[in-house]
Amino acid sequence: MLESHIITELKTLVGAANVSTENADLICYSYDATQQQFLPEVVVHPGSTEEISAVIKLANREKIPVFPRGAGSGFTGGALPTKGGIVLVTERLDQILLIDEENLVATVQPGVVTEQFQQAVEKVGLFYPPDPASLKFSTLGGNVAECAGGPRCVKYGVTKDYILGLEIVTPTGDIIRTGGPTMKGVVGYDLTKLMCGSEGTLGVITKIVIKLLPLPEAKKTMLVLFDSIDGAAQAVSAIIRGKIIPTTLEFMDAATIDCVRKATGLQVPDAARAVLIIEVDGDADVIDRQAAKIAEIIQPLGVVETRIATTAAESEALWQIRRSVSASLRKVNPDKFNEDICVPRSKVPEMIRKVDAIAGKYNIPIVNFGHAGDGNIHVNVMIDKKVPGELEKAEQAIEEVFRGALELGGTMSGEHGVGIAKAAYIPLELSPEASEYMKTIKRALDPNNILNPGKIFLDN
Partner 1 sequence: MTKLKELEQYRAEIEQCVKCGACRAHCPVFGAEKHEGRVARGKVALAGALLDGKIGLEEKVLFDLSQCLLCGSCTAQCPNKVPTEEIVAAARRRIAREKGLSSFGRGMTTVLRRQKLLNLLAKTGGSMAKLLFKKLPESSGLRLRFPLPYLDPDRTLPEFTAKPFRERVPEWIEGEAGQPTVAFFTGCGINYMYPAVGEALLRALKFLGVSVVIPKDQGCCGLPAVSAGAGAAVEELAAQNLKALTARPVDFIVTACASCHAGLGKVYADLGAEYRALGAKVEDIFVFLANHGLPEKLAALPAAEKKVRVTYHDPCHLRTQGITREPRRILAALPQVEFVEMTGAGTCCGLGGTYSVYHYETSKQIGAKKATAIADSGAALVATDCPGCIMQLQDSINHAGGRQKAVHILELLNDALP
Ligand X SMILES: Cc1cc2nc3c(=O)[nH]c(=O)nc-3n(C[C@H](O)[C@H](O)[C@H](O)COP(=O)(O)OP(=O)(O)OC[C@H]3O[C@@H](n4cnc5c(N)ncnc54)[C@H](O)[C@@H]3O)c2cc1C
Q: Which of residues 40-69 bind partner 1 (CB under 8 A)?
A: 45
Q: Residue 17: phi, psi to the nearest 5?
A: -65, -15
Size of the site for partner 1 (CB under 8 A): 35
Angle between helix 49-62 and helix 4-14 axes, rounded to 10 deg: 160
DSSP string, 402-430: HHHHHHTT-BSBSSS--TTTSGGGHHHHS
Helices (H), 299-389: 312-323, 325-328, 348-362
Report the C-alpha gap between 230 and 326 in whole angstroms: 22
Q: Does 145 bind ligand X (CB under 6 A)?
A: yes
Q: Nearest to residue 167, comparing CAs of 158, 159, 177?
A: 177
Q: Does 199 bind ligand X (CB under 6 A)?
A: yes
Q: Does 40 bind ligand X (CB under 6 A)?
A: no
Q: Does 148 bind partner 1 (CB under 8 A)?
A: no
Please check whether residue 73 is in contact with residue 137, taking contact to mean a CB–CB distance below 8 angstroms. yes
Please check whether residue 272 is in contact with residue 225, taking contact to mean a CB–CB distance below 8 angstroms. yes
Measured from the CB of residue 87, what is the shortest distance to partner 1 in angstroms?
A: 10
Q: Which does 374 bind (CB under 5 to 8 A by kind): ligand X, partner 1, none?
A: none
What is each CA distance from 259 to 33, 246, 275, 349, in whole angstroms?
A: 19, 26, 13, 21
Q: Which does 22 bind (CB under 5 to 8 A by kind): ligand X, partner 1, none?
A: partner 1
Q: Does 416 bind ligand X (CB under 6 A)?
A: yes
Per-residue binder mask for partner 1 (CB under 8 A), 269-308, x = binder: ----------------------------------------
Q: Which of 9, 50, 62, 115 binds partner 1 (CB under 8 A)?
A: 115
Sheet holding 163-169, edge to edge: 96-100, 105-108, 204-211, 163-169, 175-179
Q: Does 261 bind partner 1 (CB under 8 A)?
A: no
Q: Which of 6, 32, 301, 347 binds partner 1 (CB under 8 A)?
A: 32
Contacts to partner 1 by CB under 8 A: 22-25, 27-35, 45, 71-73, 89, 91-92, 94, 113, 115, 134, 136-138, 263, 324, 326-328, 330, 334, 336
Contacts to ligand X by CB under 6 A: 32-33, 67-75, 78-79, 90, 110, 132-134, 138-139, 141-143, 145-146, 148-150, 199-200, 204-205, 326-327, 415-416, 452
